[in-house]
Amino acid sequence: MKVILASGSPRRRELLEQANIEYTVEPADIEEVTSETLPSKVVEDLSRQKAVAVAANHKGEIVLAADTVVAFEDKILGKPQDEEDAFRMLMDLSGKTHQVYTGVTIVDTNGNINTFSECTEVTMYPNSPEAIKSYIVSGEPMDKAGAYGIQGLGAVLVESIKGDYNNVVGLPLARVYRMLT
Protein backbone atom coordinates (compact mmCIF):
# COMPACT_ATOMS: atom_id res chain seq x y z
CA MET A 1 0.00 0.00 0.00
CA LYS A 2 1.28 3.44 -0.91
CA VAL A 3 -0.30 6.74 0.07
CA ILE A 4 0.22 10.36 -0.78
CA LEU A 5 0.68 12.30 2.44
CA ALA A 6 -0.83 15.76 1.99
CA SER A 7 1.37 17.16 4.76
CA GLY A 8 4.94 18.31 5.21
CA SER A 9 4.99 17.30 8.88
CA PRO A 10 8.14 15.36 9.78
CA ARG A 11 6.29 13.80 12.72
CA ARG A 12 3.58 12.38 10.45
CA ARG A 13 6.25 10.98 8.14
CA GLU A 14 7.95 9.28 11.10
CA LEU A 15 4.65 7.75 12.21
CA LEU A 16 3.91 6.36 8.73
CA GLU A 17 7.43 4.89 8.59
CA GLN A 18 6.89 3.32 12.00
CA ALA A 19 3.87 1.46 10.57
CA ASN A 20 5.71 0.49 7.34
CA ILE A 21 3.29 2.53 5.25
CA GLU A 22 4.90 3.62 2.00
CA TYR A 23 4.23 7.23 1.12
CA THR A 24 5.18 10.19 -0.98
CA VAL A 25 4.81 13.72 0.31
CA GLU A 26 2.79 16.40 -1.42
CA PRO A 27 1.72 19.12 0.99
CA ALA A 28 -1.58 20.76 0.14
CA ASP A 29 -1.06 24.26 -1.17
CA ILE A 30 -4.21 25.81 0.25
CA GLU A 31 -5.11 28.66 2.56
CA GLU A 32 -6.32 27.02 5.77
CA VAL A 33 -9.64 28.76 6.39
CA THR A 34 -12.73 27.30 7.99
CA SER A 35 -16.04 28.60 9.26
CA GLU A 36 -16.19 25.82 11.85
CA THR A 37 -15.62 26.72 15.50
CA LEU A 38 -15.64 23.43 17.44
CA PRO A 39 -12.09 22.04 17.54
CA SER A 40 -13.16 18.59 16.26
CA LYS A 41 -15.02 20.14 13.32
CA VAL A 42 -12.17 22.58 12.55
CA VAL A 43 -9.63 19.76 12.14
CA GLU A 44 -12.05 17.62 10.14
CA ASP A 45 -12.81 20.49 7.77
CA LEU A 46 -9.17 21.46 7.29
CA SER A 47 -8.01 17.87 6.75
CA ARG A 48 -10.77 17.37 4.20
CA GLN A 49 -9.80 20.55 2.33
CA LYS A 50 -6.16 19.40 2.17
CA ALA A 51 -7.01 15.87 1.03
CA VAL A 52 -9.44 16.99 -1.66
CA ALA A 53 -6.97 19.56 -3.01
CA VAL A 54 -4.19 16.97 -3.37
CA ALA A 55 -6.50 14.18 -4.58
CA ALA A 56 -7.62 16.39 -7.48
CA ASN A 57 -4.18 15.79 -9.03
CA HIS A 58 -3.97 12.08 -8.11
CA LYS A 59 -7.01 10.21 -9.40
CA GLY A 60 -6.94 6.52 -8.46
CA GLU A 61 -4.45 7.02 -5.64
CA ILE A 62 -4.87 7.06 -1.86
CA VAL A 63 -4.45 10.49 -0.28
CA LEU A 64 -4.04 11.02 3.46
CA ALA A 65 -4.34 14.44 5.08
CA ALA A 66 -4.40 15.49 8.73
CA ASP A 67 -4.72 18.60 10.83
CA THR A 68 -3.97 18.82 14.57
CA VAL A 69 -4.93 21.46 17.13
CA VAL A 70 -4.55 21.90 20.86
CA ALA A 71 -7.69 23.12 22.62
CA PHE A 72 -8.12 24.42 26.14
CA GLU A 73 -11.58 25.32 27.43
CA ASP A 74 -12.87 24.93 23.83
CA LYS A 75 -10.43 27.57 22.56
CA ILE A 76 -7.87 26.53 19.96
CA LEU A 77 -4.27 27.29 20.89
CA GLY A 78 -2.11 27.80 17.83
CA LYS A 79 1.64 28.11 17.61
CA PRO A 80 2.99 30.79 19.93
CA GLN A 81 3.73 34.16 18.37
CA ASP A 82 6.75 34.71 20.59
CA GLU A 83 8.31 33.53 23.86
CA GLU A 84 5.89 35.60 25.94
CA ASP A 85 2.94 33.95 24.18
CA ALA A 86 4.49 30.51 24.74
CA PHE A 87 4.92 31.28 28.44
CA ARG A 88 1.29 32.41 28.75
CA MET A 89 0.00 29.27 27.03
CA LEU A 90 2.11 26.90 29.11
CA MET A 91 1.17 28.65 32.35
CA ASP A 92 -2.52 28.39 31.37
CA LEU A 93 -2.10 24.64 30.73
CA SER A 94 -0.03 24.03 33.87
CA GLY A 95 -1.79 21.66 36.28
CA LYS A 96 -4.80 21.35 33.98
CA THR A 97 -6.21 19.06 31.33
CA HIS A 98 -6.57 20.07 27.70
CA GLN A 99 -7.46 18.27 24.48
CA VAL A 100 -5.52 17.51 21.32
CA TYR A 101 -7.68 16.95 18.24
CA THR A 102 -6.50 15.52 14.96
CA GLY A 103 -8.74 15.48 11.94
CA VAL A 104 -7.92 12.89 9.29
CA THR A 105 -9.23 12.54 5.77
CA ILE A 106 -8.50 9.60 3.51
CA VAL A 107 -9.46 9.72 -0.16
CA ASP A 108 -9.43 6.16 -1.49
CA THR A 109 -8.61 4.92 -5.01
CA ASN A 110 -12.27 5.27 -6.02
CA GLY A 111 -12.43 8.89 -4.85
CA ASN A 112 -14.46 8.09 -1.73
CA ILE A 113 -13.76 10.54 1.09
CA ASN A 114 -13.64 9.38 4.72
CA THR A 115 -13.12 12.01 7.42
CA PHE A 116 -12.94 11.59 11.19
CA SER A 117 -11.36 13.19 14.22
CA GLU A 118 -9.63 11.78 17.27
CA CYS A 119 -9.38 13.47 20.66
CA THR A 120 -6.76 12.80 23.33
CA GLU A 121 -6.85 14.43 26.77
CA VAL A 122 -3.51 15.66 28.08
CA THR A 123 -2.95 16.61 31.72
CA MET A 124 0.05 18.78 32.53
CA TYR A 125 1.94 18.71 35.77
CA PRO A 126 1.72 21.91 37.79
CA ASN A 127 4.87 23.39 36.23
CA SER A 128 6.76 26.24 37.83
CA PRO A 129 7.42 29.45 35.90
CA GLU A 130 11.12 28.56 36.04
CA ALA A 131 10.54 25.12 34.48
CA ILE A 132 8.44 26.66 31.73
CA LYS A 133 11.03 29.38 31.02
CA SER A 134 13.74 26.71 30.86
CA TYR A 135 11.67 24.77 28.33
CA ILE A 136 11.03 27.89 26.23
CA VAL A 137 14.79 28.62 26.10
CA SER A 138 15.22 25.27 24.30
CA GLY A 139 13.30 26.75 21.37
CA GLU A 140 11.16 23.62 21.03
CA PRO A 141 7.77 25.20 21.81
CA MET A 142 8.03 27.92 19.19
CA ASP A 143 6.73 25.87 16.24
CA LYS A 144 4.26 23.70 18.16
CA ALA A 145 0.54 24.16 18.63
CA GLY A 146 -0.09 24.72 22.33
CA ALA A 147 3.62 25.58 22.75
CA TYR A 148 4.84 22.07 23.53
CA GLY A 149 5.90 18.86 21.82
CA ILE A 150 5.09 15.67 23.71
CA GLN A 151 7.57 13.69 21.59
CA GLY A 152 10.47 15.93 22.66
CA LEU A 153 11.62 17.79 25.74
CA GLY A 154 8.00 18.86 26.34
CA ALA A 155 7.30 15.32 27.57
CA VAL A 156 8.63 16.35 31.01
CA LEU A 157 5.73 18.80 31.38
CA VAL A 158 3.06 16.13 30.83
CA GLU A 159 1.63 14.17 33.76
CA SER A 160 -0.70 11.86 31.83
CA ILE A 161 -2.71 11.33 28.70
CA LYS A 162 -6.03 9.64 28.09
CA GLY A 163 -6.26 8.35 24.56
CA ASP A 164 -3.91 7.86 21.66
CA TYR A 165 -0.36 9.15 22.26
CA ASN A 166 0.35 9.27 18.52
CA ASN A 167 -2.67 11.52 18.09
CA VAL A 168 -0.88 14.10 20.24
CA VAL A 169 2.20 13.75 18.04
CA GLY A 170 0.04 14.45 14.98
CA LEU A 171 -1.65 11.32 13.61
CA PRO A 172 -3.85 8.66 15.29
CA LEU A 173 -1.71 5.98 13.69
CA ALA A 174 -3.51 2.80 14.76
CA ARG A 175 -6.88 4.04 13.54
CA VAL A 176 -5.39 5.34 10.27
CA TYR A 177 -3.60 2.03 9.71
CA ARG A 178 -6.82 0.07 10.18
CA MET A 179 -8.68 2.32 7.79
CA LEU A 180 -5.97 2.02 5.16
CA THR A 181 -5.79 -1.76 5.41
Residues labelled catalytic: 67
| Contacting residues for 149 by C-beta, under 8 A, at least 6 apart | 140, 141
From 109, 15, 37, 22, select the one nearest 46 (Cα to Cα).
Answer: 37
Q: Which residues are registered as beta bridge partners of 115?
A: 105
Q: Do residues 172 and 105 touch, judged by C-beta distance below 8 A? A: no
Name the amino acid, one letter, at 158: V
SS3 assignment, position 160: strand
